[in-house]
Chain A
Amino acid sequence: MKEQTNGILNGYKLEETHFEEVFTRQNGVKPHYQNTVDRFKQFSLADFERLNNEVKTAFFNQGITFAVYSESKKPDERIFPFDLFPRIIPAEEWTKLETGVVQRNRAINLFLEDIYHSKKILKDKVVPADLIFSSKNYLKEMVDFSPEGGIYTHISGTDLIKHSDGEYYILEDNLRCPSGVSYVLSNRMALKKSLYDLFDKLNTKTVYQYPEQLLEILKTVKPKNTDNPTVVVVTPGMYNSAYFEHSFLAQKMGIPLVEGRDLFVEKDIVYMKTIYGPKKVDVIYRRVDDEFIDPLVFRKDSMLGIPGLISAYRAGNVTLANAPGTGVADDKAVYHYVPAIIKYYLGEEPILNNVQTYHCEKDSDFKYVLENIDKLVVKPVDESGGYGISIGTKLTKEEIEEVKIRIKSDRRKYIAQPIMSLSVHPTFVEETKEFEPRHIDLRTFSLMGKNKTYTLKGGLTRVALKKGNLIVNSSQGGGSKDTWVLD
């Protein structure tokens, strides 16, 4: 353990076992962090706390909050934790990362087109057919249907971590309704207001274009015979935990935010109910999951959906982004095959590495997993938000046995990975009033339209605020940081 020398970073203790983003082992500062560390050293604790509180108040007043409902009539509103110390990615590092993410998403899109059409990759046995057809996210409604422009994954969120070897690894793909981009934009606005002098010194790439790029991308996939498409965002409603993001994006794009009850389908045309009567809708950025989107086709009890939507979609009268049925490709069991998928469709070596994945469905992997549970992270293939994950080193003997029973009961459902050591980053801990190392990851956001792509420069750095915690999801008490990509 070594000590830093100045200001509020005085007490920062380097961790030996994880990759440290800001400081070197020799107590120095990595070059791309030098300006920022210098700036933070100027803060007294009182100054920093004041700034921290101002930013929190601003988030609160902007309504970037989630509500915790209790028995009392007034819901308790809280902001998502935000850390003022930015995560910085140098230009070169970013270029590789972005190229790798774009490569991956291009291949995944081709994979989706293939498995819903000629199924070549399955016939060639690169990916086991059983794995795809047994997935509940493989939708028969999508078979032989070609979405506009051949685009399935208009919006992809790719999660990455930096391991102790200093390399980025893909942790998972999010191809359904990845969320978090509104925090990227809000975090940036907050940091620009509070650390504006630092922006002067660094050439940080901007993020503000995301909503306009998203709208342009959505317009590229308008249905045929539509000149000036009406684009809308569909939300489950204001009690959904991501409602802030839905309204934020709709507002920034200047398009209507609609709920299922605002829409109806007549003769395979989707309409929204306006004050002057029905208005045709052409492109839907939906933030409602597949299973709830059309009660005539999927869950019959869905109150959020639009009866007849899938029929209108299949008739080519409306575009859905993302396309239904993309979940089959972000299944954690399919993740294992993505490097092979990249090679198969693009003939290229994957730029970004996967984390080694053991497939409980495969006999050899299954055996290895059972023998090494204490060294592995076991994950269900079809859950998100960090749910259902068991981390081997944290389990008691009894719990290990329970995990074994769970895996044996449904081998298709579980994969295992070595416990990856997420990099650590100085993060202000309010309880101790000190900066301490906390684990971080990164979610990038890439857009794909007809002849047009865009990747947000940076992304959402999520930080696990609990000491030693490896799960960064906001539903598990994670916070976030602004992410700066340097020019």
Chain B
Amino acid sequence: MLSRVANNLYWMGRYIERAEHLARYSREIYFSSLDAPILKTYDRNFALDSMLYMAGIFDMNYTKEEEVLFKIGLDLENSNSIISNITFARENARGARNAISTGLWESLNKYYHVVTNYPVEKYLTTGFYEFSQMVLDHTSILRVKIYDTLLHDEEWTVILIGIYIERVLQIIRIINAKLHDIYKIEQAGHPVTEMSFEWTTLLRCAEAFDMNRKYYANIPDCQQVIEFLMLNPSCPRSISYSLNGIRKYVRKLSRNEQGGPDTINFKIGKLHEQYNYLSFDEYKNDIYGLLNDTQRQILTIGEELEKKYLTY
């Protein structure tokens, strides 16, 4: 496979994943705010600020809700918006068109056209839920096409590495964003016992609420949620699960290369094993610290992958 094509496929995977997390997070935060039990989260600006935080926009002065919705969803000038991510995913696929299946290409192209032709007026008034759902549905179709219409060779492997790297980064971002909210609520003097709603929202942001309920059969609290989203090896939305994915596919891409501490295989293996043998108690006092350290390591692994395989 050409390095340029590998680069395109890797980024296609990342942008598809990124758009989905942003759409889901924004939707969950926005709609949970409609009937939140804690007065603070009723405040629409609180939800909008959280959405902007997730979208990596920290300096926006807005006067109307529509401005935020537009910025996050359909603003082509904002390279972090959902529409920009989908445009980038599609452009990357177009540059590697011959390396992917007709089914995957047409599904992605259709997704792009539906999103870019979505009426702005409708999105800003009544279509926000529908729009987000559409993003999630199209992403599901793409996942099936990636799994079932591509040969499981290097091309496929590179796409999955992109998806899992992005998933780790997005789950870290989601936990960070929501912890940031919860911290603000605690600062405002709300007792921790009233927080189950917020923890539930965090799970929903990662589409992991049902899985969590099944696993614990308990009212969510900090430990149950953070432990689940970070350490659970069976939850496909957890950091641990995604690290395992990166590890597995990096090894496949390297053709089972053995090597010392300098190799990507070694680094991702070590990080994954750290998660395998970690208990919540060990890091409960410094969740941010672990998240930031993981993020840093994954970014380094991503850079090394690009250098080794994707540079042309």
Determine if B32 is an interface residue (Cβ-Cβ < 8 Å). no
The answer, yes or no, to whether B37 is at the interface (CB within 8 Å) is no
Is B105's beta carbon under 8 Å from chain A?
yes
A331: interface (CB < 8 Å) = no
Kindly provide the distance from the CB of A282 to the nearest chain B CB, expressed in whole angstroms. 16
Q: How far is the CB of B67 from chain A (nearest CB, A)?
A: 18
**Does the CB pair A238–B94 fall under 8 Å?**
yes
Identify the stretch in B108-116, B240-248, B269-277, B296-304 within 8 Å (CB) of chain A at 4 or more residues. B108-116
CA distance A238 to B91 in the complex (A): 9
The A-B contact count (CB < 8 A) is 67
Interface centre among B113, B154, B158 (most CB of A within 10 A): B113
Q: Which residue of B4, B95, B109, B113 has the most chain A CB atoms within 10 A of its CB atom? A: B4
Smallest Cβ-Cβ distance to B312: which chain A residue: A273
Task: Give Cα distance in the complex from A63 to B105, angstroms.
Answer: 9
Is the beta-carbon distance between B102 and A61 smaller than 8 angstroms?
no
Contact among A61, A74, A238, A257 with B106 in the assembled complex (CB-CB below 8 Å): A61
Q: Are A63 and B106 in contact (CB under 8 A)?
A: yes
> Do B113 and A275 touch across chains, with their CB atoms under 8 A apart?
no
The answer to whether A257 touches B1, judged by C-beta atoms less than 8 angstroms apart, is no
Q: How many residues of B contact A (CB 8 A)?
A: 27
Q: Is B98's CB within 8 Å of the partner chain A?
A: yes
Chain A residues within 8 Å of B1, by CB: 256, 274-275
- Residues in A neighbouring B76, C-beta threshold 8 A: 73-74
Stretch of A12-20, A141-149, A258-266 lying at the B interface: A258-266
Asked if B3 CB lies within 8 Å of chain A CBs, one says yes
| Contact residues, B1-15 vs A (CB, 8 A) | 1-6
Distance in Å from the Cβ of B87 to the closest Cβ of chain A? 8
Q: Is there a chain A Cβ closer than 8 Å to B309's Cβ?
A: yes
Q: Is there contact, CB below 8 Å, between A275 and B310?
A: yes
Asked whether any CB of chain A lies closer than 8 Å to the CB of B97, the reply is yes
Please determine whether B105 and A238 come into contact, CB atoms closer than 8 angstroms.
Answer: no
Task: Indicate whether A247 sits within 8 Å of B97 (C-beta atoms), given known contacts A262-B4, A274-B3.
Answer: yes
Contact B154 A275 (CB under 8 A): yes
With most chain B CB atoms within 10 A of its CB, the pick from A63, A233, A258, A273 is A63
Q: Complex formed: what's the CA distance from A74 to B106 in Å? A: 19
A62 interfacial by beta-carbon distance below 8 Å:
yes
CB-defined interface of A225-263 with B at 8 Å, one 1/0 digit per residue?
Answer: 000000001000010000100011011000111110110
For the complex, is B286 an interface residue (Cβ under 8 Å from A)?
no
Across the interface, A62 reaches (CB within 8 A) one of B3, B77, B109, namely B109
Residue pair B102, A251 in contact (C-beta under 8 Å): yes
Residues of A within 8 A of B3 (CB): 262, 273-275
Which residues of B are found within 8 Å of A233, using beta-carbon distances?
Answer: 98
Binary flags per residue of B258-271, CB closer than 8 Å to A gives 1, else 0: 00000000000000
Q: Which of B95, B98, B158 contacts A251 (CB 8 A)?
A: B98
B-side contacts of A248, CB under 8 Å: 97-98
Q: B-facing mask of A53-97, CB < 8 A → 1, else 0?
A: 000000011110000000001100100000000000000000000
A272 within 8 A of B: yes
| Majority-rule SS of A interface residues | mixed
Q: Do the beta carbons of B2 and A74 come within 8 Å of each other?
A: no
Of the listed residues B91, B98, B105, B158, the one surrounded by the most CB atoms of chain A closer than 10 A to its CB is B98
In the bound complex, residues from chain B placing their C-beta under 8 Å from that of A258 are: 2
Within the complex, the shortest CB–CB distance from B103 to chain A, in Å, comes to 11
CA A61 to CA B116, docked complex, whole Å: 13
- In the assembled complex, which residues on chain A have CB atoms less than 8 Å from the CB atom of B6? 275
Interface members, chain A 284-335 (any B CB < 8 Å) = none
Q: What's the nearest-Cβ distance from chain B to residue A401, in Å?
A: 47
| CA distance in complex: A238, B102 (Å) | 17
In the assembly, what is the distance between CA of A196 and CA of B171, in Å?
Answer: 49
Given A73-B77, A258-B2, A262-B312, A61 contacting B98 (CB threshold 8 A): no
Which B276-312 residues sit within 8 Å CB-CB of chain A?
A: 309-310, 312
Produce 1/0 per residue, B82-121, CB < 8 A to A.
0000000001001101110010011001100100100000
Which one of A61, A74, A243, A259 lies within 8 Å of B4 (CB-CB)? Answer: A259
In the bound complex, CA of A274 to CA of B77 (Å) = 34
Rounded to whole Å, the gap between the CB of B106 and the closest CB of chain A is 5
A336 to chain B minimum Cβ distance, whole angstroms, is 39
> Pick the contact of B98 from A62, A257, A262, A274 — CB < 8 Å?
A257
Q: When chains A and B are docked, how far (Å) is the Cα of A77 from the Cα of B116?
A: 11
Select one of B91, B98, B113, B154 contacting A256, CB under 8 A. Answer: B98
Query: For residue A63, which residues in chain B have a CB less than 8 angstroms away from its CB?
Result: 94, 97, 105-106, 109
11 contacts between A and B (CB under 8 A): A62-B109, A63-B94, A63-B109, A73-B77, A238-B91, A238-B95, A251-B99, A251-B102, A256-B98, A272-B2, A273-B4
Question: Which 7 A-B residue pairings sit nearest by Cβ, starting from the closest?
Answer: A250-B98, A251-B98, A247-B97, A275-B309, A257-B98, A73-B76, A61-B110
A residues lining the B interface (CB < 8 Å): 60-63, 73-74, 77, 233, 238, 243, 247-248, 250-251, 255-259, 261-262, 272-275
Which residues of B are interface residues toward A (Cβ below 8 A)?
A: 1-6, 76-77, 91, 94-95, 97-99, 102, 105-106, 109-110, 113, 116, 154, 158, 253, 309-310, 312
